Amino acid sequence: MQVLRIIFVHVLSALSAAVVYIFGIDYDGYIPYFLISVILFIFYLIFAAPVQYFLNRKSKRFNLKYLLIYIFFSFLVWLVFAVITDPKNTLDFLMGYEIYLFSISFAIIFWIWDSVFLQNRAKTAA
């Protein structure tokens, strides 16, 4: 049951983050939304799941320390992605607002869904 809640958190986070991303880049269409959601789900699964597992050992609902940790790792993933995809324009990417908007908003989205669905269950089970 815990695995299903974790997957549910990742799916909701990917769908919510895709909405933010679509509005952030000002793009319209359903197919790109679906593809972006799938890509974000994979990124959340690969990068956020280990952090989530580590933080959920001592679960605290809506803990600001957890939010800061999620923001740090989100920024780190965006930075690594920027360096891998276009190393020459990494400085330009850091000067733009998008990396900060997306890394902070994606971390907040994940933190909220994690706190609502996983942290709540951990407190009631204890």
Which amino acid appears at position 100 of this protein? Y
Residue 118 structure tokens: 């996983």
Distance CA 27, CA 4 (A): 31
Greatest Cα pair distance, the chain, in angstroms, is: 50
Q: Which amino acid is at 109?
A: I
Domain that holds residue 119: 2-125
Read off the pLDDT of residues 55-88 as tens digits, 9 standing for 90 and up: 888 878 888 999 999 999 999 998 888 788 777 7
pLDDT at 64: 92
Q: Who contacts 86 (Cβ-Cβ below 8 Å, separation ≥6)?
A: 93
Number of other residues whose CB lies within 10 A of the CB of residue 75: 17
**pLDDT at 120 (0 to 100):** 53
* pTM for this predicted structure: 0.82
- When divided into structural domains, the chain yields a total of 1
Q: What is the pLDDT of residues 88-113, one digit of tens each?
A: 777 777 787 888 888 999 999 999 99
Residue in this structure with the two tokens 């793009």, named with its chain if needed: 27
In percent, the amount of the chain with pLDDT more than 90 equals: 33
Cβ contacts of 34 within 8 Å, gap of 6 or more: none
Q: What is the mean pLDDT of the chain?
A: 84
What is residue 118's predicted lDDT score, i.e. its pLDDT?
80
